[in-house]
Amino acid sequence: MAPTESPGFYFNLATMRPIVIGFGLLILCMLVLFKIGEVNFVEGNVRLEVIVAIAAFIFFFIGLYFNYQSQRKISNQKDVANPSEIIDYEQIKKIGLTQREHDVLVKMADGLSNQEIAQQLFLSESTVKTHVSNILFKLDAKRRTQAIQSAKKLKILA
């Protein structure tokens, strides 16, 4: 983040699909619930505040996640104004690492297993393995530990 020029939101369908679908389903479920429970609400058996509070909570976190996804994309755009930035985004492009691969690389360096990375990035373990393999190839590493070491030397990891 922190690019001085406002980058705007970057959405691509592949990564946003689950979010959009989830968002839509949530609204649908909500509407269905309302239809079903309409009488109850009119009779005042269910506290309106509770419903709204729950909805607020859910959508609050959806908003968090939504923004997180877009931030992830934005962070790819290099930050010229902030020289203290440790990561060399030019180097990343030079090596040919994609955005998603770099995401995985960061998680790898945090010491996460493929499964944990999959959970945190909302991917299958298969996908993570694919990314890891590509990372190892592009960084000319035989193991993830070696890839992390190389990446830090190349300043594509903090």
Partner DNA sequence: ATGTATTTCCTACTTTAGGATGAGCCTAAA
Partner DNA sequence: TTTAGGCTCATCCTAAAGTAGGAAATACAT
Task: Out of 97, 128, 135, 148, name the contact with a second copy by CB under 8 A.
Answer: 148
In the complex, minimum distance from the CB of residue 150 to DNA, in angstroms, rounded to a whole number: 12
Is position 154 an interface residue for a second copy (rule: CB under 8 A)? no
What does the alpha-carbon distance between residue 32 and residue 148 come to, in Å, rounded to a whole number? Answer: 49
* Rounded Cα gap, residues 121 and 107, in angstroms: 9
Looking up tokens 């729950």 gives 54
Among 75, 87, 100, 106, binds DNA (CB under 7 A): 100
Q: Tell how many helices (H) and how many strands (E) occur in the chain.
A: 8, 0
Which residue in 118, 146, 154, 156 binds a second copy (CB under 8 A)? 146
Rounded Cα distance, 61 and 20, in Å = 14
Q: Treating both helix axes as pointing N-terminal to C-terminal, what angle do 125-138 and 99-109 enclose, rounded to 10 degrees?
A: 90
The residues in 110-129 that bind DNA, with binding defined as CB under 7 A, are 113-115, 118, 121, 123-127, 129
Query: Residue 140, interface with a second copy (CB under 8 A)?
Result: no
State in angstroms the smallest separation of the CB of 112 from DNA. 7
Site residues (CB under 7 A) for DNA, limited to 13-42: 13-17
Cβ burial, residue 23 (10 Å; 0-12/13-18/19+): middle
Site residues (vs DNA, CB under 7 A) = 10, 12-17, 96, 98-101, 113-115, 118, 121, 123-127, 129-133, 136-137, 142-145
